[in-house]
Structure 1
Amino acid sequence: MEKRMPADLLDASAISHALPGSYWRVSTISEATSTQELLRTSNPSHGDVLATEFQSAGRGRLDRSFEAERSTALLFSLFIKPRITQERWSFIPLLAGLSVVQVLNSLCESNKFFTKWPNDILINEKKISGMISEVCGDGIIVGIGINTTMSRAQLPVSSATSVLIELGIVLNRNELLAEILRQFSQNLADWESGRDFLAEYTSLSSTINREVKAIAPDGVEAIGTALGVDESGALLLSDQQIIRVGDLLHLR
C-alpha cells in the first residue's frame, strides 16, 4: 500500500517572502470552483496570482475537467499584461511550460521533465502537469496544475503521474510556486526584450522530432514528423503542415 504523504499547506506570506521585490501578488484559498474562473471574474491586475488547495470545477484545455484530491497538486492561475503586441501572445503558453520544466528539473535535480506541445509537461512519457491560457481584457490568464504528491490510486487517468510517484520526492508547493513565478517572470522579461527561446524550447521538448498525430477541434487529423515550433508557438510538421491548436498524440 502506498504511503499517503502529509500535505504542506499553501501559504501566501511564505510565497511572497520568497519573491522580494517582484510584481507578483499571491493569494491562496482553501477551495475554489476554478482559479481560472475566479481570477477572470475578479478584474485582475498585472501580477495577480491565485492558488488553491482544491478545485471543484477545474478545467483544462478544450473545457475538459481537471480533478485532483485536496493538497496533492499545485493549482494556480496568474494574470499578466504582456508588454508586446497581442498577435504574439500565443507563444506565452509555451514560455510558461518551458518555465515549469526548468524549475522542476532544477528543484528535483533531474533531467527527466519535458514539454509536450502545446500545454503539457511529461516525465517518463506520462503527464505530470497541464496548462490552460486565455485572453482576459488587455492581458492573459495562465492556469497551471502540477501533480505533486498524488498516489497511484489518486491519479485521474492511467496516463498521468506525480512527482512523488516518479521520483519519490515531496516538493514543497510554496517553494515550487515561488520558483515558477520567478522563472516565468524572468523568461517573460527576456522574451519581451527580444530573446529567442525557440532553441531552448526545442531542447526541452518531448514532441520535436517525433512522429505525431494532431487532432483539430473539428476532428480533422494531421500526421507527420514534428519539426519544431515557430515564433507564434505553432507546431511545424513535415509536408509544410502548421498546427496552431488541437490535441496531439505521440505515435513513436
Structure 2
Amino acid sequence: MPDSRYSDLERPPLSEAALNRALVRPGSLWTGVTVVESTGSTNADLAEAARRGAEEGAVLVAEAQEAGRGRLGRTWSAPPRSGLTFSILLRPEAPPAAQGWLSLLYGVAAASAVRRLAEVDVRLKWPNDLLIGERKLAGVLAERVGDAVVIGMGLNVTLRPEELPVETATSLGIEEAACLDRDPLLRAVLREVEAHYREWAQAGGDAEASGLRSAYLAASATIGRRVRVELPNEQSLTGLATGVDHFGHLLLDAEGEQYTLSAGDVVHVRPAT
C-alpha cells in the first residue's frame, strides 16, 4: 500500500492526456501513451498487446508495478510514483542480427536525456544499466515478441535511501538532481529514444553507420575497465573490457584470451590500491 507520508504534492500522478498531447503527433514514432495506476509488468502487458497486433509506438506507463522483472530474471519493485516504470513497443525492419542493439540504443538515449535534464553524470554499465558513479539508477529489459521488440525501463526518481531495493542503487533525489519531475523526464527519454531509433533504422540497423556504437562507447562506464562477468552458466570471467562488437556484444580480454560475450552480469572491479 502507498505510504500515507507521501502526498500528491511530493509524488504527483502522471497525466495521460498531457503526455499524449506532447508526444503523439503526425509523423511521430509514438502512437499512444497509456498510464495505469498499477499492473504486474508493463513489459508483459505490452508483449500481450504485441501478440494481438498492437502498432509500433505504443507506450505503457505504470504508477506502480507489482511483478516487475529485471535482467537475468531478477524481480524489481519500487513505491508507487517514486520512479518511471514504462515500456515501449517497436516493430523494427532491420535484420534480426542487428536488433540486439536496441536495448543498448535505449540505454544510450535514456542516459543522454537524464544527463541533460537532471544534470547528473549518467553512464552505462554493459549492456544497458544506467549508473551514477557505481550505483544503479535505472535498468532496461528488452524482449522479442514475434516480429516486435518490447523494451521496458525502471528509473529511480524520488526514492529515499530507506526505500532503495538494494544498497547499490540510487535515485535522482538522492543524487540531488536538477529535475525530479517525472513528466518532463519521461518526455525527454521518449524523444531521445525516437531520435536514436530513427537514425539507426535509416542506417538499416548498422550501429557503426548510424553513430550508435560510438555514442555507446562514449557513454560507457564499462569499456576500458577491469570487470568480472557472471555468466549464465554460473561461471565467471575476469579481465579488461576492451569494446563492443558490431552486434553489441562485450569484448573481454581475460588472461590473454579474447572473449565475445552476448550475455552476463558485469561487476566493475575496483583497482588494487
TM-score range, shorter chain: over 0.9
Give the aligned partner of residue 265 of structure 2.
247
AA matched with 1:243: L
Provide the aligned C-alpha RMSD in A: 1.4
> Are 1:65 and 2:75 matched, yes or no?
yes
Residues 1:96 and 1:168: Cα distance change in structure 2 (over 3 Å): closer
Cα contact 1:98–1:204 (8 A) shared by 2:
yes
Greater shift in the superposed pair: 27-36 or 174-183: 174-183
Query: Is residue 119–residue 178 contact of structure 2 (8 Å, CA) maintained in 1?
Result: no
SS of aligned partner of 2:234 = coil
> Which residue does 2:206 correspond to in 1?
none
Aligned residue pair count: 249
Q: 1:107 aligns with which of 117, 135, 145?
A: 117
**Alignment correspondent of 1:187:** 196
Identity of aligned residues (%): 34
With normalisation by structure 2, the TM-score equals 0.88
Q: Write out per-residue CA displacement over residues 122-148 of structure 1, whole angstroms, 9 at most, x where no aligned residue.
A: 002100000111101111000100000
Q: Which residue of 2 aligns with 1:47?
A: 57
Give TM-score scaled by structure 1 length.
0.95
Q: Which has the larger radius of gyration?
A: 2
Distance in 2 between residues matched to 1:8 and 1:209, nearest whole Å: 41
2:22 is the alignment partner of 1:18? yes
Aligned to 1:160: 169
Equivalent position SS for 2:220: coil
TM-superposed CA distance for 1:26, in Å, is 0.6
Residue 120 of structure 1 aligns to which amino acid in structure 2? D
> Counterparts of 1:20-169 in structure 2 under 5 Å?
20-21=25-26, 22-24=28-30, 25-42=32-49, 43=52, 44-110=54-120, 112-169=121-178
- What's 1:175 paired with? 184
230, 233, 236: which is aligned to 1:221? 236
Contact 1:122 1:128 in 2 (8 A): yes
Distance in structure 2 (CA, Å) of the matches to 1:68 and 1:205: 26
Output the amino acid matched with 1:232.
F
State the partner residue of 1:199: 214
Q: Unpaired segments of 5 or more residues in structure 1?
A: none
Q: Which has the higher contact order (CA 8 A, sep 6+)?
A: 1
